[in-house]
Amino acid sequence: MQRKTDVVVIGGGLAGLMAALTTARAGRSTLVLERGEAFGGRAQTQDWNGFQLNLGGHALYKAGPGYTLLRDLNLLPEGAEPKPKGLTLREGRLNLLPVGPLSMLSTGLLSWKEKGAFLSLMGRLSKVDLREAAGLTCRQWLERHIPDPRLRQIMDATLRTNAYAGDLNRLRASTALRRMQQSQKGVFYVHGGWARLVERLARTAEAEGATLKGGQSVAGVEAHGEAHLVRTKSGETYEADEVILALPPAETLDLLPAPAASRLRTVLGEARAVTVSCLDLCLSRLPDQAVNLGLGIDDPLFMVAQSEAAHIAPEGAALVHLVRYHEGLPGEGPAAMRSQLEAFMDRLQPGWRKVLLHARFLPSAPVASVLDEPGRRRPVSEDLGLPGVHLAGDWVGEVGWLADASLASGHRAGLAAAAMAACA
Ligand SMILES: Cc1cc2nc3c(=O)[nH]c(=O)nc-3n(C[C@H](O)[C@H](O)[C@H](O)COP(=O)(O)OP(=O)(O)OC[C@H]3O[C@@H](n4cnc5c(N)ncnc54)[C@H](O)[C@@H]3O)c2cc1C
């Protein structure tokens, strides 16, 4: 058995690294065990000949809790805020995406009457009653508040893009509306990809004294007197006063003792994950530089050329992310989804096939571990009934959505574990 540590963090994604940094900064001896050789989990970035490919398009919302936390802890990597210049596609016709007064005046997407109604809706957005919206699905909220079906369709597209989730019949309205409110304060792309954020968290955690070990797949956690034993699949055992599980739900359930796993299963219920299909394209140049964003209105599609703002492609080249949101169970097969994304790109960026250098298609990328639904609450560490074992991840706690939730719950778990370890 290895020397006893104050805190063992299992999982080296954003949640685990934020948790480790927090416990190490509080002076607790901290060990992070990550299954992969590389840290970062879903926030990893792959380099392809100078193109920095995140797992699909990744953006931080500047008004979101994750960005705020990173800024307050002086952990924000370098990046840029994009200036959207976009097109919409509805019923086969392209129109300017209304992102400001000029594009709103000139777009053919909306009639004059619809423009008035849309502007009034945007004006009221910051005052939307999120408590009412928390009890409704997006679909229910839209039907209650937006009588015009054509306007509702535009709001469908806006909500699913901001929430990164296509199942509006189940998604909690307040989750999507809060993201939409936050989007009004701008988004942030990380120069060099999200790996820079991962590195920043990992290096800071190490500088604070944490030890990070890759290639360590954990097989189980069990009580050992007042402490806990963490066993890896390769047969190592670590003893810790506090354990932070910063893993997706299925992996968390696998590691817990049966009674705690059963309590967690009760809270999770029939939880379902949010997936999307992603097509990431490395291009020698962007064929039409006047278009860096594309929004499908009647099809759940999205395109973003993040390299127009972030340094994630070689000089003059372009990195484009396309997303096909899944509206519940994926109806079509991967080949059909890829063709749909390519056809969308044909409309937004004609000529892209001639400048294509490399394409990566992810048919079912796990954006969120658990879909936020009315009537369901996200688990908290106390649900386990296991003193000294803490949960973190995008599916834990009440704060934030996607990476915001991972960072916020990681920080919270780190603070709790540091406080408890001080009493041990
Ligand atoms: C296509 C796509 C686009 C996205 N876009 C955005 C976006 O624009 N904005 C945003 O905020 N978020 C976005 N996200 C979500 C964001 O990437 C995640 O919320 C975040 O990275 C999750 O971090 P995490 O630490 O909670 O989980 P993970 O990243 O899943 O980390 C869990 C870690 O645990 C490790 N692990 C698992 N089992 C074990 C074990 N037994 N032992 C040891 N280690 C183990 C895994 O290897 C992994 O590294 C996107 C995700 C995807 C897939």
For residue 385, the tally of other CB atoms under 10 A from its CB is 12
Angle between helices 403-423 and 14-25 (to 10 degrees): 30
Helix or strand (DSSP H, E) at 142 = helix 138-145
Separation of CA 262 and ligand 1 centre (Å): 24
Query: What distance in Å separates the CA atoms of residue 97 and residue 107, rounded to the nearest whole number?
Result: 7
Over range 161-179, report the average pLDDT: 96
**pLDDT level of residue 126 (50, 70, 90 thresholds):** confident
- Spacing, Cα 113 to ligand 1 middle (Å): 43
Structure tokens at 51: 């193109």
Mutate which of 21, 22, 58, 320 for ligand 1? The one with the most ligand atoms within 8 Å of its CB, which is 58
pLDDT of residue 2: 67
- Please state the domain extents for the chain: 5-44+195-270+373-423, 99-180
Q: What pLDDT is stored for residue 90 in this prediction? A: 96
**For the residues 166-181, what does the mean pLDDT come to?**
95
Q: What is the DSSP letter of 329?
A: S
> Is-contact 389 243, C-beta < 8 A?
yes
Q: Count of CB atoms within 10 A of residue 73's CB?
A: 16
Model confidence over 316-357: pLDDT tens digits?
A: 999 999 999 998 655 678 899 999 999 999 999 999 999 999
Give the DSSP per-residue string, 102-137: HHHHH-SSS-HHHHHHHHHHHHHGGG--HHHHHTSB
Locate all alpha helices (DSSP H) within 315-389, ordered by sequence: 334-348
Give the number of the atom of ligand 1 that is nearest the alpha carbon of residue 406.
Answer: 26
Q: How far apart are CA 117 and CA 272, in angstroms?
A: 35
Give the distance (Å) from ligand 1 centre to CA of residue 15. 8
CATH class given for the domain over 5-44+195-270+373-423: alpha beta
- pLDDT for 125: 85
What's the pLDDT at 330? 55
Question: 72 is written with which tokens?
Answer: 């307050």
Q: What is the pLDDT of residue 327?
A: 84
With the most atoms of ligand 1 within 8 angstroms of its CB, the residue from 17, 42, 324 to mutate is: 42
pLDDT score recorded for residue 198: 98
How many Å lie between the centroid of ligand 1 and the Cα of residue 41? 5
**Mutation pick for ligand 1 pocket among 341, 367, 396, 401 (CB with most ligand atoms within 8 Å):** 367
Compute the distance between CA of residue 294 and CA of residue 141 in angstroms, rounded to an integer: 25
Mean pLDDT of all residues in 121-134: 89
Ligand 1, residues at Cβ distance < 6 Å: 10-16, 33-36, 41-43, 55-59, 164, 217-218, 246-248, 251, 276, 278, 365-367, 393-394, 402-404, 406
φ, ψ of residue 391 to 5 degrees: the values are -110, 145
DSSP assignment letter at 59 = -
In degrees, rounded to 5, the angle at the alpha carbon of residue 345 between the alpha carbons of residues 53 and 332 is 90
Q: What is the mean pLDDT of the chain?
A: 94
Lowest mean pLDDT among 155-164, 209-218, 332-341: 332-341
Dist. CA 129 → ligand 1 center (Å): 30
Q: What is the mean pLDDT of residues 242-260?
A: 96
Task: Give the C-alpha separation, 4 to 404, whole Å.
Answer: 32
Percent share of the chain, pLDDT over 90: 87
Atom of ligand 1 nearest to the CA of 362: 1
73 CA to centre of own chain = 20
Q: Are strands 45-48 and 30-33 parallel, antiparallel or unpaired?
A: unpaired
Given a contact cutoff of 8 angstroms between Cβ atoms, the answer to whether 212 and 34 are in contact is yes
Residue matched to tokens 């920095």: 52
Q: What is the pLDDT of residue 331?
A: 64
Which atom number of ligand 1 is nearest to the Cα of residue 219?
41
Average pLDDT value for residue range 390-396? 98
Question: Which of the two residues, 333 and 187, has the higher pLDDT score?
Answer: 187
Q: How many CB atoms lie within 10 A of CB 126?
A: 9
367 Cα: distance to centroid of ligand 1 (angstroms)? 8
Q: What mean pLDDT do residues 118-130 have? A: 87
Residue 225 or residue 295, greater confidence: 295
Q: pLDDT at position 252, please?
A: 97
Query: Is the separation of the CB atoms in 398 and 65 below 8 Å?
Result: no
Angle between helices 149-163 and 173-183 (to 10 degrees): 80
Q: Whose CA is nearest to atom 33 of ligand 1?
A: 11
